[in-house]
Chain A
């Protein structure tokens, strides 16, 4: 039934292979409840991130970092002026929460993207070149993989003092590529043996051509799948770091908010302050995870209708 509909959808669109592939993937994706929930949540967070620009425009006191309500000097509960209340020095929690969504996306997506690019490049190199390069890169990956990322970042933060948010992103990316590169290497190894690579060789294709035209298009979907999982871990690491007091003091992230709650002793006194960032962290990681699982289904070759004939 569902297949019927997507058949008709794709009819006449064969000229646009990207679109066809997308529609085909969407046909599978939308059958997954997990994926739909994840997508809805994600859209919600994206809207939050977009809305984060609005409050400071209404009134400078809604600036998440520097805006202080002139009449409030301690944490207060929800009111008409501050829908989610204020923090210990009278800053608006809702605008902080919205800004936090923006930071979470920024940190998560950029760290994940960097680690994916790095992991894919290294994994493909190792898998395709083999021999010494493979051994060298994979042992390097092993070494980095066994290092606890959070601990290393904590040590670096202790050594270099406060870390800039982009430094944190970079460190997360540098420590999270090995998992990706292992997967990509495995995929490359299996692709390398496939007859279509040999066919390309017989046609006279160079190594560069084989890597970029034949192997990369086949590993990229997998890399993007992993990106969603990497986003999750990057957000968690950043939150943990901020909560422990090693975050970027110039950025309002959810982890930072939690840290302020903790440091000012409002942990059990101000649920309106503690719960929103906590719930947001859980939900955004959950939504990326669910999205990843659903995409897993889309990309799983066993679920793809490979042997369809017209």
Chain B
């Protein structure tokens, strides 16, 4: 598919994020929480990259670190080969013109006091793009492209007069109005009905085909990632477990955790997918002392002794398919 042919538009190198606990006045200081440990990913121009993981795996943190909503603890982020780690002031503003984000909850991500036109044209006025009439024109265009038509009918509506799907379309329009190079979609459909989700997916696909926007799609659902994404990275407890093309991850998963995720997908009789990997332990294994090995070790059926002590790095199995497991 798209892998290795284009340049990496976004590259993150050895990124870690640690949430330090505040020192307590009384009692013991709580432990620091490691949200991401040495994560490295490359996202190529024009692709839709899926980041799949369960809640608490750090998938959203990756997105928030890239757009700069949170400070990175260590590691570096590159946009078009340019280091964009910890940007400030003007450079940050310029960066934000190129990288946008679609948030999870459309009921929370729109300001209830601002109309659709206000919301969608705000990025334009922040970055001083065009005059007010031009902005209206651009907002009109982008609202139309996300399927809110006629756009005039939505201009002066307030979020509480919109449905969930319409709100998320407005949020997508806001992200797209600056014509960014890269958009992060953070579980954009988790608050929506299945049929609406499909529409949102199609809008994202359309964004890629018409505006050539590279996207990172963050989700907990392998099925959604498979539908949408060219390449998929599976993340577990802050570490990347497996990276590969969508097809490879679904048809030929090699990491026990990915296999467990595939097992967990609902399957229909007669669909031909009857293979069960059975890599998930029913009962978690106890870990003695500080956990220092593979994060999946406590739940893995095929774990060895060294899995408890050492963290497996990502190894390339074949072109574009990386797995972090000693066993493959």
- Is B93 an interface residue, CB under 8 A from the partner? yes
- Expressed in whole angstroms, the Cα–Cα distance for A21 and B123 within the complex equals 25
Residues of A169-214 at the interface with B, using a CB-CB cut-off of 8 Å, are 194-196, 198-206, 209, 213-214
B113 interfacial contact with A, CB 8 Å: yes
Cβ–Cβ < 8 Å partners of B103 in chain A: 195, 198-199
Question: Total A-B residue pairs with C-beta atoms closer than 8 Å?
Answer: 76
**A204 contacts B93, C-beta separation under 8 Å:** yes
Contact between chains at A198 and B69 (CB < 8 Å) = yes
Convert B119-156 into 0s and 1s, putting 1 for each residue whose CB lies closer than 8 angstroms to a CB of A. Answer: 00011001100000000000000000000000000001
Residue of B nearest to A214 (CB): B111
- Give A203's nearest chain B residue, CB to CB: B123
CB atoms of A15 and B101 under 8 A apart: no
Instruction: Tell me, yes or no, whether A308 is within 8 Å of chain B by CB.
Output: yes
Q: Enumerate chain B residues within 8 angstroms of A209, measured Cβ to Cβ.
A: 126
Take A199-B171, A204-B93 as given contacts and tell me if A304 and B160 are in contact as well, using a CB distance cutoff of 8 Å: yes
A4 within 8 A of B: no
Q: Is the CB of A203 within 8 A of B100?
A: yes
A132 to chain B, nearest CB (A): 15
List B contacts of A214 (CB < 8 A): 111, 114
Considering the chains assembled together, what is the distance between the CA atoms of A198 and B69 in angstroms?
7
A195 near B123: Cβ-Cβ < 8 Å: no
Chain A interface, number of residues (Cβ within 8 angstroms): 28
Given A195-B109, A196-B110, A218-B113, is A204 in contact with B158 using a C-beta cutoff of 8 Å? no
Residues of chain A within 8 A (CB-CB) of B156 are 14-15, 17
Q: In the complex the two chains form, what is the Cα distance from A14 to B158 in whole Å?
A: 9
Known contacts A204-B97, A204-B123; A195 and B160 CB within 8 A of each other: no
A306 contacts the other chain (CB 8 A) = yes
Closest chain B residue, CB of each to CB of A204: B96
B163 within 8 A of partner (CB): yes
Give bound CA distance, A20 to B105, whole Å.
26
Interface residues of A in 96-117 (CB under 8 A from B): none
Q: How far does the Cβ of A166 sit from chain B's closest Cβ, in whole Å?
A: 34
A131 contact set on B, CB distance < 8 A: none
Among B101, B123, B158, contact of A17 (Cβ-Cβ < 8 Å): B158
CB under 8 Å from chain B, chain A span 203-245: 203-206, 209, 213-214, 217-218
Establish whether residues A203 and B114, one from each chain, have CB atoms under 8 Å apart when the complex forms. Answer: no
One of A196, A201, A305, A310 near B111 (C-beta < 8 A): A196
Residues of B within 8 A of A217 (CB): 111, 113-114
| Closest Cβ neighbor of A306 among chain B residues | B160
- How far apart sit A56 and B93, CA to CA, in the bound complex (Å)? 64
Cα distance A17–B171 in the bound complex, in angstroms = 20
The answer, yes or no, to whether A309 is at the interface (CB within 8 Å) is: yes
**Which residues from B are CB-within-8-Å of A213?**
114, 122
Give chain A residues whose Cβ lies under 8 Å from the Cβ of B122: 200, 203, 205, 213
Contact for B126 among A196, A204, A304, A309, CB less than 8 A: A204
Nearest neighbor of B153 in chain A, beta-carbon distance: A14
The answer, yes or no, to whether A307 is at the interface (CB within 8 Å) is yes
Whether B160 contacts A203 by the Cβ 8 Å rule is no
B67 within 8 A of A: yes
Determine whether the beta carbon of B100 is less than 8 Å from that of A194: no
Q: Nearest A residue to B162 by beta-carbon distance?
A: A309
Shortest Cβ distance from A213 into chain B, in angstroms? 8
User: Which B residues are in CB contact (< 8 Å) with A205?
Assistant: 122, 126
Q: Shortest CB–CB separation between residue B172 and chain A, in angstroms?
A: 11
**Residues 83-115 of chain B, each 1 if its beta carbon lies under 8 Å from chain A, else 0:** 000000000110011001101110011111111
For the complex, give the distance between the alpha carbons of A194 and B106 in Å.
11
B174 touches A (CB below 8 Å): yes
B309 at the interface (CB under 8 A from A): no
Inter-chain contact A305/B160, CB cutoff 8 Å: yes
Question: How close is A96's CB to chain B, nearest CB, in angstroms?
Answer: 44
A218–B112 touching, CB < 8 Å: yes
Report the Cα distance A308→B164, complex, angstroms: 10
B161 lies within 8 A of chain A by Cβ: yes
A296 to B249, CA, bound (A): 54
CA distance A214 to B119 in the complex (A): 10
Q: Which residue of chain B lies nearest to A197 when distances are taken between CB atoms in the complex?
A: B111
By a CB distance below 8 angstroms, the chain B residues around A304 are: 160
Contacting residues, chain A, for B104 (C-beta < 8 A): 195
Q: How far is the CB of B152 from chain A (nearest CB, A)?
A: 10
Q: Is the CB of B67 within 8 A of A202?
A: yes
Smallest CB separation, A15 vs chain B (Å): 5
Q: Are A203 and B162 in contact (CB under 8 A)?
A: no
Which residues of B sit under 8 angstroms from A199, Cβ to Cβ?
Answer: 101, 103, 109-110, 171, 174
Chain B residues positioned under 8 Å from A194 (CB to CB): 108
Cα separation A304 to B105 with both chains bound (whole Å): 19
* B157, CB-defined interface residue at 8 Å: yes
Q: What are some 10 contacts across the A-B interface (CB < 8 A)? A: A14-B156, A17-B158, A196-B109, A198-B69, A202-B67, A202-B96, A202-B101, A203-B178, A308-B161, A309-B162
Q: State the 3 A-B residue pairs at the shortest beta-carbon distance, nearest first.
A: A217-B113, A204-B96, A195-B109
Q: A14-B156, A20-B158 are in contact. List 10 more A-B contacts (CB 8 A).
A: A17-B158, A195-B103, A196-B109, A201-B69, A202-B67, A202-B101, A204-B96, A213-B114, A304-B160, A310-B161
